[in-house]
Amino acid sequence: MGAMNQTPVLQLVGVVLLMVGLGFYGAVIGRSPVLGLFGLLSCIGLLILYFFPKRCRYCASSQSYRRKECETCGAPV
């Protein structure tokens, strides 16, 4: 019965960690870390964030995921 009481706490910790991870992923692809709130949608939120286009951190132009440098300004993506 003790393990049953810990389940909501573990679920809450898991959701918070997912939101933090998605926030970092959003920052890496040039988006706002606030997109980590998609973690509240669980796997659906992860899929939504995956299909956001990658943006250059310097000039904010959309980039292909295969590119290592920005087509517009030449900065590393």
The pTM score is 0.69
Average pLDDT score over residue span 34-54: 81
**Angle at Cα 15 formed by Cα 22 and Cα 29, nearest 5°?**
0
Write b or e for each residue in 55-75: b if 16 or more Cβ atoms lie within 10 A of its Cβ, otherwise e. Answer: bbeeeeeebeeeeeebeeeee
Average pLDDT score over residue span 28-51: 81
Average pLDDT score over residue span 56-68: 79
